[in-house]
Amino acid sequence: MLTAFRRALETWPVRMLFGLMVIAFVVWGVGDAIRNIGTTTWIAKVGGQTIDPARFNEVFERDLALAEQRLPQGQNVTAALRRKVAQAALDQMIAQAAISEEIRRLRIAVPDSAVRETVFAMPAFQGPGGTFDRARMNAVLANNGISENRFLGMISGQIAQQQMLGAVVAGVAPPALLTRKLFSFSAETRSALVAPVPFASAPPPPAPDEAALQRFYADHPWLYRVPEYREIKAVVLTAGALAKAISVTPEELKTYYDEHKADYVTPERRSLQVLVLHDAAKAAALAKQWQGGADWAAMQAAAKADGGNAVALPGTTEGELPDPALAKAAFAAAQGVVTGPVTTGLGVDVVKVTKITAGAAKSLADVKDEVAARVRADHAANRIYDVANKVDNILGTGVGLSKLPGDVGLVGVSGTLDAGGTTPKGKPAPIPGPPALRKAIVKAAFATAPGQPPAQLTEVAVPGGGTAYYALTVEKVTPPREKPFSEVKDTVTAQWTAAKRRKEAERIATRVLVAVQGGQTFATAAAAAGLAVQATPLLARQGPAGEMPAVLRRVLFSLKPGQPTMVQSDKGFLLAVPQKIVQPDPKQEPEKYAALRQVIARAVSQDVASSFAAALRQRAHPRVDHAQLESFVNSGN
């Protein structure tokens, strides 16, 4: 039999059969590999790092959920929003990867002690005694689905990034010319000579005849029209009203206080002057010079001469300082004492504390009422949907508003109003709840047919989060009408007279303005018109303006010296001309100048850091698989 089999192998039909079998096994065995040619298992590559789809999906879904929470009530996530969120998430991850590549290239190392100190200082991990609680840390990490090793790696990466970016921006200083220009603009003060022309001061016109009043009445019909009024009954359901009926226990108060203790604890802040050098001997010499009484300006120049930097840090907390060693030394020093040298991750520092603002802690007893209000508000926000469903079930039977229970937090309201929400007496209708709810009720009152019972509550999104509900019935409609002339003749006469006096006041003010523009002094032109001239105090662009109307102050700072202007207020016209323009002197206001310089320095530092990160991204030559990215965008369709 074996001989016959061997003999059969020598025939061409059998050879062809085996050849087909080999081809089939090849196709079946490597089919997946062939199909995967030209595809990728990453969404982006940055240098030697890859961003895999699973990792990207975690960030994308988190950011998409946050974006969805910010959408107005009733609006859904669109493909355009998904694309925007996906691109932003990918850009963020690429930038982070590029920075990580640079940290690896520079071999920046973060000691375990720095990671430990950072973690131990995090408020979220503090126990009841204000010290690090490992059990609390484990619970927080578990709730967020993060392993301890991954979390510590994230902290280490953040510290390394702070070290690198801190070194990049350490020597950044705003241009002196820019600082002076901005200081001159923002701190400039001006005073003016002002001549008021009140409407009431204009001489009254001769008594009008009947024809003039009739003409005024016909030309201003909107002044004498009674709008449409609607009488409504409504119920309102808000979290605020619901919260009033909720009681809280002492245990709930303590739990909330412990979970939000950071809201009631203000950390100590210190203003620092820091010299950053790279040589311990030079730092020691500068510390001795500073301790000998040298001022800050001299120390800045000395640090620069030694190849270092000088940085002022106003109002800084311990956690905001970029280096733990610097933070520890700065917050252990006394005010006015020069401390150092201190070896940090950025070099060798010498520190002086110029100001200490003590922290404060409010106990539960101090904020008991506030905490209780917050707890009730949380409970109300959780219960309001259940209450709304219960009310909807009742309204769905067609019983109307009269059969609704009175113990579920509903507030009843009834009255007559116009389309602007005003009562016939000219006052705003007393509708409870936030402005958005009031606006929705007024709009619905004029869109609902009279006598139509509500089938369910209407939900209204409240700005800042949360919802409110209402249901209403229109009881009666009073159509609009025009008041007859005989009924409003006295009003027409008063309004006609006021219009004439306003016109005369404008004529007087214009005559004075033209005279000043023609070369007369402001005082002479005002006196010729019988106007009193007043001098205002020096005013800044921002801040209290006293009795000066805001419109005049805005115009005042756009005028040239001696240039007159005329503005209208609710009481009359105002003529004004700049009297005194005071340009600020940085030497006379060093604190304001230093504060502005710090603001500009932070802005410039942020720009430098952003430019540095963008340069790293460009140098890393990131590659993006756009097909993979589109798959995430389209996955929600």
What burial class does residue 404 get, using C-beta atoms within 10 Å of its C-beta: 0-12 exposed, 13-18 middle, 19+ buried?
middle
Bridge-based pairing of strands 44-46 and 623-624 is antiparallel
Q: How far is CA 508 from each of CA 499, 521, 527, 563, 579, rounded to the nearest angstrom? A: 14, 16, 12, 18, 22
* pLDDT average, residue stretch 366-376: 87
| Alpha-carbon gap, residue 97 to 47, rounded angstroms | 8
pTM as predicted: 0.47
Give the pLDDT of residue 17. Answer: 52
**What percent of the chain has a predicted confidence (pLDDT) above 90?**
24
Q: What is the pLDDT of residues 486-498, one digit of tens each?
A: 999 999 999 999 9
Q: What is the pLDDT of residues 250-286, one digit of tens each?
A: 898 888 888 887 778 788 888 999 998 888 888 899 9
SS3 473: strand
Cα atoms in the 13 Å half-sphere on the side-chain side of 140: 15
pLDDT at 35 over 70: no
Give the pLDDT of residue 32. Answer: 41
* pLDDT average, residue stretch 575-590: 89
- Under the banding of pLDDT at 50, 70 and 90, the label for residue 34 is very low
Q: What is the pLDDT of residues 115-135, one digit of tens each?
A: 888 888 888 887 766 677 787
Q: Point out which residues pair with 45 in neighbouring strands.
A: 50, 623
3-state secondary structure string across 494-549: HHHHHHHHHHHHHHHHHHHHHHHHCCCCHHHHHHHCCCCCEECCCEECCCCCCCCC
Give the pLDDT of residue 73. Answer: 61
Tokens 């300006």 sit at which residue? 297
Q: Which of 204-218, 273-287, 548-562, 570-584 is least confident?
A: 548-562
**What percent of the chain has a predicted confidence (pLDDT) above 70?**
92
Query: Which of 83, 157, 159 lies closest to 117, judged by CA?
Result: 159
Contact 616, 99 (CB under 8 A): yes
What burial class does residue 587 get, using C-beta atoms within 10 Å of its C-beta: 0-12 exposed, 13-18 middle, 19+ buried?
exposed
Q: What is the pLDDT of residues 499-549, one digit of tens each?
A: 999 999 999 999 999 999 999 999 999 999 999 999 888 888 877 766 677
Q: How far is CA 406 from each of CA 245, 300, 430, 498, rounded to the nearest angstrom? A: 12, 72, 20, 51
Give the pLDDT of residue 30. Answer: 43
| Alpha-carbon gap, residue 72 to 84, rounded angstroms | 17
State which of 112-121, 560-569, 622-631 shows the largest mean pLDDT.
560-569
* Helices and strands: H and E segment counts in the chain: 21, 20
Dihedral angle computed from the Cα positions of residues 325, 328, 334 and 335, in that order, rounded to the nearest 10 degrees: 80
pLDDT at 400 over 50: yes
Mean pLDDT estimate for the chain: 84
| Alpha-carbon gap, residue 454 to 398, rounded angstroms | 8
* pLDDT average, residue stretch 418-447: 91
Residues 6+ apart with CB under 8 A from 113: 324
Helix, strand, coil share of the chain (percent; to 5)? 50, 20, 30
Six token digits for residue 627: 């097909």
Six token digits for residue 556: 């005042």
State which of 77-81, 185-189, 404-408, 632-636 shows the largest mean pLDDT.
185-189
Q: How far is CA 366 from each of CA 286, 369, 555, rounded to the nearest angstrom? A: 47, 8, 47
pLDDT at 96 over 90: no
User: What angle do the packed helices 53-69 and 626-634 form, to 10 degrees?
Assistant: 40
Phi-psi region of 247 (alpha: psi -120 to 50; beta: other; left: phi over 0): beta
- CATH architecture label of 268-358: Roll (3.10)
Q: What is the pLDDT of residues 46-82, one digit of tens each?
A: 877 888 888 888 888 888 888 887 777 657 778 888 8
Bridge-based pairing of strands 411-417 and 539-540 is unpaired
User: Running DSSP on this structure, what letter comes out for residue 621?
Assistant: -
Handedness of CA 363, 369, 375, 378 (dihedral sign): negative
User: Running DSSP on this structure, what letter comes out for residue 318?
Assistant: G
- CATH of region 44-171+616-634: 1.10.4030
Q: What is the pLDDT of residues 221-246, one digit of tens each?
A: 989 999 999 999 999 998 888 888 88
| Alpha-carbon gap, residue 597 to 111, rounded angstroms | 34
SS3 136: helix
pLDDT at 33 over 60: no
| Cα distance between the two ends of the chain | 65
Domain boundary assignment for the chain: 2-36, 44-171+616-634, 189-224+485-582, 228-250+367-479, 268-358
| Alpha-carbon gap, residue 513 to 531, rounded angstroms | 12
- Under the banding of pLDDT at 50, 70 and 90, the label for residue 31 is very low
Rg (CA), the chain: 38
Give the pLDDT of residue 129. Answer: 63
Q: What is the pLDDT of residues 276-327, one digit of tens each?
A: 888 888 889 999 999 888 899 888 988 888 888 888 888 888 877 878 888 8
Residue type, 365: A
Query: Which of 436, 442, 480 lies closest to 459, judged by CA?
Result: 436
Give the pLDDT of residue 16. Answer: 56
| Alpha-carbon gap, residue 57 to 629, rounded angstroms | 10
Number of Cβ within 10 Å of residue 287's Cβ equals 23
Phi-psi region of 228 (alpha: psi -120 to 50; beta: other; left: phi over 0): beta
Establish whether the linkage from the previous residue to 428 is cis, with ω within 30° of 0.
no
Contact 290, 339 (CB under 8 A): no
Q: What is the pLDDT of residues 172-210, one digit of tens each?
A: 888 888 888 888 888 888 999 999 999 988 998 999 999
What burial class does residue 10 get, using C-beta atoms within 10 Å of its C-beta: 0-12 exposed, 13-18 middle, 19+ buried?
exposed
Bridge-based pairing of strands 44-46 and 49-51 is antiparallel
Query: Which of 469, 477, 422, 425 lies closest to 447, judged by CA?
Result: 477
